[in-house]
């Protein structure tokens, strides 16, 4: 990898990396304290070289201004198409690379520029626009109540495994009217793919096959759902499969981790504990605090410079992926300089949903799912508390996903059958 180099006299200054090699943004030390790594990178400059996984190199934008510059200058100065990735073109990225499963070329809107991006994103946004948010709220509530009914009589649970991780994918399967066997396969494989672990390539192949089966089912039995809308828009199977992977990926692990992190925040942070029940701070404020401080997708949106570019004084070379750290950008001290503590509560100016041409296509749907899920857990599980100290809640490993890996809780046992209002009576 070529590191940023000092420019000649008369040109804008650039930062020199103050270390012997790129910092890793993977592994246990990073997962245990990612913001420590972001601070070390920020000390080098707003964009710094990193090791994405062993032997896979890139840059990471860690300041808010650098992140916005990159996102706003796509596609003019920075492209999304991974075919610009020089190491990939040379064959230096193994086909089984976990990072490749998250960053490699796919024929969907996320990885396209120009007219192809506009065509595929247009079909995607039109399909998502058919979702009835009132029906979505009812669907999430029904799924949440079903999951809670299974744990309510017990009094203890791991809310990540038994609630947070399951609910978003069950919701999406209901929205897409997926037959249960296909939906179950999709649920099992999406999280494995997002973790970018050693079995990511196997998970990717299984997910592609499940998506193809869902498409074939919808061609035979079309309905009023997102998948049928995409088929009606004229997308080919070669475009539909990666588009569904994009949709399931965006609607699965990230909302799951936002729900888990939101519940953790409410149970442990004095700013929110209790307030959400009295109405002083709604659930939405707690979720926005998570999106500012610990977004579920901390690092993503790889971009490729069109020729040598200078980003906030840092020279970046073409052919090398530039990841945007939404987590580091949101935590940029420049954003809070002179502001009192808590000044960003209720502020939605964060980058957790990205920005620019490739911003999240349906943030409002994500909010409906996550807010409803958190509210149902708080309503239906009386006296909900953590079963372990907050500093012992294990974090997710990995570069691309963040949040609790487990959330052991205790609560007052309740009857599994909701009353007419949707609540249960305490046992």
* Global pTM value: 0.89
What is the chain's length? 427
Could you report the per-residue pLDDT of 398-421, keeping only the tens digit for each? 899 999 999 999 999 987 755 444
Could you report the per-residue pLDDT of 194-225, keeping only the tens digit for each? 766 788 888 889 999 999 999 999 999 999 99
Q: Percentage of residues in the chain with pLDDT exceeding 70? A: 88
> Please, are residues 178 and 140 in contact by the beta-carbon 8 Å criterion?
no
Q: How confident is the model at residue 339 (pLDDT cuts 50, 70, 90)?
A: low
**What pLDDT is stored for residue 291 in this prediction?**
95
Please, what are the domains in the chain? Answer: 1-101+298-351 (3.30.43.20), 106-296+354-427 (1.10.630.10)
> Please, are residues 328 and 41 in contact by the beta-carbon 8 Å criterion?
yes
Interatomic CA distance for residues 139 and 72, integer angstroms: 36
Could you report the per-residue pLDDT of 140-161, keeping only the tens digit for each? 999 999 999 999 999 999 999 9
Residue with tokens 């916005």: 68
**What pLDDT is stored for residue 366 in this prediction?**
94
> Please, are residues 388 and 156 in contact by the beta-carbon 8 Å criterion?
no
Question: Residue 82's Cα: distance from chain center in Å?
Answer: 19
Q: Give the highest mean pLDDT range of 9-18, 66-75, 328-337, 410-419.
A: 66-75
Interatomic CA distance for residues 84 and 99, integer angstroms: 16
205 three-state secondary structure: helix
Q: Percentage of residues in the chain with pLDDT exceeding 90? A: 72
Interatomic CA distance for residues 147 and 69, integer angstroms: 43
**What pLDDT is stored for residue 282 in this prediction?**
81
Could you report the per-residue pLDDT of 308-338, keeping only the tens digit for each? 999 999 999 999 999 999 999 999 999 876 6
Interatomic CA distance for residues 155 and 157, integer angstroms: 7
Interatomic CA distance for residues 302 and 111, integer angstroms: 9
Q: How confident is the model at residue 12 (pLDDT cuts 50, 70, 90)?
A: very low
Residue with tokens 């509560």: 345
Q: What is the DSSP letter of 160?
A: I
Q: How confident is the model at residue 343 (pLDDT cuts 50, 70, 90)?
A: low
Could you report the per-residue pLDDT of 230-265, keeping only the tens digit for each? 999 999 999 999 999 999 888 889 999 999 999 999
Mean pLDDT across the chain = 88
- To 10 degrees, the CA torsion angle through 158, 160, 162, 165? -170
**What pLDDT is stored for residue 272 in this prediction?**
80
């Amino acid at each position: 990898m070529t590191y940023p180099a000092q420019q000649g006299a008369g040109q804008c200054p650039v930062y020199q990396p103050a270390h012997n090699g790129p910092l890793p943004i993977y592994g246990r030390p990073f997962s245990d304290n990612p913001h420590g790594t972001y601070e070390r990178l920020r000390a080098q400059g707003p964009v710094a070289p990193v090791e994405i996984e062993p032997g896979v190199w890139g840059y990471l934008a860690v300041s808010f201004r650098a992140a916005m510059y990159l996102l706003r200058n796509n596609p003019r100065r920075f492209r999304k198409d991974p075919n610009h990735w020089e190491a990939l073109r040379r064959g230096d990225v193994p086909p089984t690379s976990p990072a490749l499963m998250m960053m490699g070329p796919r024929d969907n809107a996320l990885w396209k520029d120009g007219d192809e991006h506009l065509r595929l994103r247009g079909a995607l946004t039109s399909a998502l626009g058919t979702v009835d948010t009132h029906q979505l709220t009812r669907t999430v509530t029904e799924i949440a109540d079903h999951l809670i009914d299974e744990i309510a009589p017990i009094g203890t649970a791991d809310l990540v495994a038994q609630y947070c991780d399951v609910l978003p994918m069950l919701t999406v399967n209901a929205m897409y009217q997926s037959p249960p066997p296909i939906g179950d396969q999709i649920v099992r494989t999406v999280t494995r793919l997002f973790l970018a672990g050693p079995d990511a390539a196997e998970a990717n192949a299984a997910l592609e096959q499940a998506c193809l089966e869902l498409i074939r089912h919808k061609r035979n039995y079309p309905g009023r759902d997102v998948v049928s809308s995409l088929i009606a828009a004229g997308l080919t199977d070669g475009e539909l499969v990666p588009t569904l992977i994009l949709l399931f990926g965006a609607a699965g692990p990230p909302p799951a981790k936002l729900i888990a992190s939101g519940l953790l925040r409410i149970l442990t942070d004095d700013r929110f504990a209790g307030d959400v029940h009295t109405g002083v701070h709604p659930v939405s404020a707690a979720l926005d605090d998570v999106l500012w401080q610990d977004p579920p997708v901390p690092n993503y949106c790889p971009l490729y410079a069109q020729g040598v570019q200078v980003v906030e004084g840092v020279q970046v070379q073409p052919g090398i992926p530039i990841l945007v750290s939404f987590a580091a950008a949101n935590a940029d001290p420049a954003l809070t300089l002179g502001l009192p503590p808590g000044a960003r509560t209720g502020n939605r100016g964060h980058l957790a949903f990205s920005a620019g041409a490739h911003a999240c296509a349906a943030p409002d749907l994500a909010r409906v799912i996550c807010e409803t899920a958190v509210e149902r857990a708080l309503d239906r599980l009386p006296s909900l508390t953590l079963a372990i100290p907050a500093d012992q809640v294990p974090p997710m490993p990995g570069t691309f996903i963040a949040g609790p890996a487990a959330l052991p809780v205790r609560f007052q046992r309740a009857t599994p059958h909701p009353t007419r209002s949707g609540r249960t009576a305490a046992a």
